[in-house]
Amino acid sequence: MTKNPQQTNVTVVSCTVKQLFSGITEDSNIKGQLKIPEYQRPYVWNKKQLTKLISGFNDFFKNYTKEKPLYYLGSIILHKENNTLNIIDGQQRITTLALLDYFINNVAHSIEYSSPKSISQIKENHVLLSQKELVLKKLDLELLNVTLVITNSEDDAYTFFETQNTGGKRLSGADIVKAHHLRAVKGQGAIANKAQQWESKNITSINEVIGLLSKARYWNFLNWKSYPSFRHKQAVKIVIVEDFTENTNNTEHPISFYQTEVIGDDFQTSSQNSSHLKSLRQPLYNGAHFIDYLSDYVDVYETLFLLENDYRVDERFYVFKNILINGANGTIFLKELFQLVVLAYVSKFGFKNIYEFSLWAFRYVYSIRVINRRTVREDSIEKFVREELILDKIFGCFTHQEVVNQLKQYNYNFNSENCEENRVKGRYILSLGNYFETFSNGMAVTNFDNILKEAIHGKL
């Protein structure tokens, strides 16, 4: 075992996995019980990672001699808290090694798991280890080496993790956001409750909604910021982490903002929120406040765009969505903008009148398809939002009718190029006939928008 005393806040220790599971004794002053913090992402390694690790182990143990170096498994980052060693980076490897040691050597390790997803994946992997292609012939933890990076500061541990290229899988932007806000929740019971609330959501929906909310907050005429391309995954991750961790606020009494309608006269008044959602662009606060904010938007996203029916939503919306928004002739960029515009509307006015709004929002957003000469590119979406300020118009309105009037006043120039039936634009126009009867008799290149507006009025 070796250690590096150069830094006072960070201790670097080289040890075997056997020593790690035993509490790191010998000449090191570091002792503690390994623990998975409540805010950590679940254990997710599956057959693919198991196969790769076991294959490497089988080759190593078959050819190992005392003259050869130990099998190196990379860095593990730990946060030391009293007699506990919280695993910040390395959970996937440590859990897998503990599982393998139990399966091969019948040695159990006292690491507790509270996440139902982690427990389920551990059970699934235990079954997988019985398969012929996953047979591990030998496991000696004294021949496996790791580098431990140990700090007394939780924040330093995460900062170090984000700036180092460790042996484990990198945290996604959503993972970092989750860890940041769960760490800000006070009390073990509250942490467990909020962790369960987060993990009960579909991770794909969380990622989608975080991206949409982040764009809505960036594309703000008061302080416009360009959003990175989806191709630049690291840049998008930086934006998400910055907006939803670094720019969130600390306070014991977070404030939530809602649009409220007050009805009455000089003698009696009543008030109600027009939407149950916190204002989309409101200041955000660390901990439970943010988790509730995101959770509510994930629920709305799934209600509108993943479900087929919900008693709060006009059933005509689902038919329209399935035929046109989820149809084969759209584009992911237009679909995402449409979803973002609808989320912005619901954040102000709730589900009431969602169908009427969506038809006019469809005309507005999908006009990009017929304005452009050819295909719709990602950069044309941001350009459109900045020029038309569609999000700011929604956030600036006080009533549903005011929003609809804004959408109806929008005018654009139809581009008749590339409207042949074998072109993307032509196929899109033809596909409108699957929902709007006025497009069912063939191409409507001439007077396109008037026909579309007539079709919308017909549906309403």
pLDDT tens by residue, 368-421: 888 877 677 888 899 999 999 999 999 999 999 999 999 999 999 888 887 777
Find the helix or strand (DSSP H, E) in which 85 lies: strand 84-89
Q: pTM score, two decimals?
A: 0.70
Token output for 459: 């549906």
Pairing of strands 33-35, 84-89: parallel
In tens digits, the chain (460 residues) has pLDDT values of 444 444 446 787 788 899 888 876 555 566 788 888 876 778 889 998 999 899 999 998 988 888 888 898 888 888 888 888 888 888 899 999 999 999 999 999 888 887 888 889 999 999 999 887 788 889 999 999 888 888 887 666 666 665 554 444 566 788 888 888 888 888 777 887 888 888 888 889 999 999 999 999 999 999 999 999 888 888 898 899 899 998 999 888 999 999 888 888 777 888 888 899 999 999 999 999 999 999 999 999 999 999 988 999 999 999 999 998 886 665 788 999 999 999 999 999 999 999 999 999 999 999 988 887 767 788 889 999 999 999 999 999 999 999 999 999 999 988 888 777 777 777 888 888 889 887 765 556 678 888 899 999 999 8
Instruction: Lay out the sheet containing 10-16: strands in order across.
Output: 2-4, 10-16, 144-151, 71-81, 84-89, 33-35
| Closest listed residue to residue 368, CA positions, set 383, 353, 355, 357 | 383
Find the helix or strand (DSSP H, E) in which 284 lies: none
| Closest listed residue to residue 311, CA positions, set 373, 354, 266, 278 | 354
Token output for 126: 């235990």
Token output for 113: 């798991």
The residues near 313 (Cβ < 8 Å, ≥ 6 apart) are 303, 304, 351, 354
DSSP 66: T
